[in-house]
Structure 1
Amino acid sequence: MVNAGHAFKGTRVGSGYSAGSSGHLDAERRRGVVDRTVVSYWCLEGHETRPTFAKLNETEIPEVWECGRCGSPAGRSPGVDLNIDGDEPFKSHLQYVKERRTEAEAARVLENALAQLRRQRSV
């Protein structure tokens, strides 16, 4: 039986969606979950991140959020540097790796990885 005409095809369990309603919005209204707030945050690179929160008081909304593109701290005002008094500036994974290895060690690790790839390709 390819399609038995199930009304709930494509919905997830617990979604609250019923075949006769106008969808998820009605289910959320019944549960009292509709009020939400979308807040914009900007990192120093100018990326905007817009997380959605439950409707909160202004004082409960975080002042700092992680940028969704580069991972650096993002504030609620564009162009504001969030590295305040002794906070360590954002470092990428590569920067941390470079702190742990010398150039010679990094070259040796890279050469070993390339040699392993070459062996796999020749098999």
Structure 2
Amino acid sequence: MVNAGNAFKGKRIGTDAYGGMAGWQAESGRIPVVADRTIVSYWCMANHESRPTFAKLHEDEIPEVWDCCRCGRPAGRLPGVEPLVDCVEPFKSHLQYVKERRSDEEAARVLEQALCNLRARRTNLGSGLAT
């Protein structure tokens, strides 16, 4: 018995038993050309290393600053050196943006309203089941 749901499990799309070529590639004997790549290391001030891959570029075309993939801070190409960033606004979390938009009193009001709505739905749901 064949399980069709797992037929492609572990296979890369576009490959088969012909040495990694499938379909028109195997029939024509043409092998796709892969562009040359450059891997560049960037370090943030927390010493996290990010290694994005670029197409083969001239040195002046590679960005000097990259966002850290772990903490989101700007990362430069030299470890331990803070990169120069055009934007002076530091990295902010979602919670920091929410706190900018609402005061503590307004947040308490919104929370209380949401809890009242939830309690009202639960009492309506409970009374609807009892009848």
Shorter-chain-normalised TM-score: which range?
A: 0.5 to 0.7
CA offset digits 1:53-111 (Å, max 9, x no partner): 12222112111111111222111112232354662222222222111111112233344
Q: Once the two structures are superposed, what CA deviation does each residue of 1:102-123 show, in whole Å capped at 9, x if it has no partner?
A: 1112233344455666778886
**1:19 paired residue among 17, 22, 38:** 17
Partner of 1:2: 2
In structure 2, what is the equivalent of residue 102 of structure 1?
103
Aligned equivalents of 1:113 and 1:46: distance in 2?
A: 42
Other-structure match for 2:129? none
Q: Which sections of structure 2, spanning at least 5 residues, go unmatched?
A: 126-131
Quote how far apart the aligned CAs of 1:50 are: 1.1
Distance in 1, matches of 2:87 and 2:20, equals 53
Tell me what 2:49 maps to: 48
Verify the 8 A CA contact 1:83 1:89 in the aligned structure 2: no
The DSSP-based 3-state class of the residue aligned with 1:30 is coil
- Where do residues 59-74 of structure 1 align in structure 2 (5 Å cutoff)? 59-74=60-75
Distance 2:43 2:120 in 1: 46
Q: Provide the alpha-carbon RMSD of the alignment.
A: 3.4
CA shift at 1:39, angstroms? 1.2
**Structure of greater Rg:** 2
Provide TM-score, normalisation by structure 2: 0.63
1 CA distance for matches of 2:114 and 2:41? Answer: 42
Q: In structure 1, what is the equivalent of residue 91 of structure 2? A: 90
The one-letter amino acid of 2:61's match is E
Shift of 1:18: 3.9
Residue number in structure 2 paired with 1:78? 79
Moved more, 101-110 or 67-76: 101-110
Q: Which moves more between the two structures, 113-122 or 57-66?
A: 113-122
The answer (yes or no) to whether the contact 2:47–2:79 under 8 Å persists in 1 is yes
Percent identity over the alignment?
61
